Amino acid sequence: MATAIDERQLRRQIDLALGICEERNAREDLELPDEVARYLWALYELAGRYDLSLPSTTLDAHIQLLALRRVWMPLADSETDDVLRYCLSCGAQLQPSCRRQRCTRCRREAAKQAVAS
């Protein structure tokens, strides 16, 4: 499981790599640049996805990066709006409009503990 710092790093790398792929795709220069390959390797490692292999084009890389982003940045994709989401702490179902990872009760509890310690 990645730590919070890993996660931030991961998100930044996904965005950077997506930007490079989009630019290449727009120019129809589809050969995978070393830079994106390096990002992808780092992402596989951080995500523990050693089953993935490098795509040969920036089009395929783009698809793979979007899939990785869906795992790591679920709130960035509007298509996940209808998906039921659950509190990470207690498993209670969250309101569809809720953009947080935990329910109100758990967040309140965590805040209380942060103050106490």
Contact residues for Zn ion, defined by CB under 5 A: 87, 89-90, 92, 103, 106
- Assess contact for 70 and 86: CB atoms under 8 A: no
Instruction: Return d(Cα 68, Cα 49) in angstroms, integer.
Output: 10
DSSP string, 40-74: HHHHHHHHT-TT----SBHHHHHHHHHHHHHHH-G
Cβ nearer to Zn ion, comparing 71 with 92: 92
Query: From the CB of 106, what's the least distance to Zn ion, in Å?
Result: 3
Q: What is the Cα 111 distance to its own chain's centre? A: 25
Nearer to Zn ion, 92 or 98 (CB): 92
Residue closer to Zn ion by CB (options 19, 74) is: 74
Give min distance, CB of 15 to Zn ion, in A: 29
Smallest separation (angstroms) from Zn ion to the CB of 90: 3
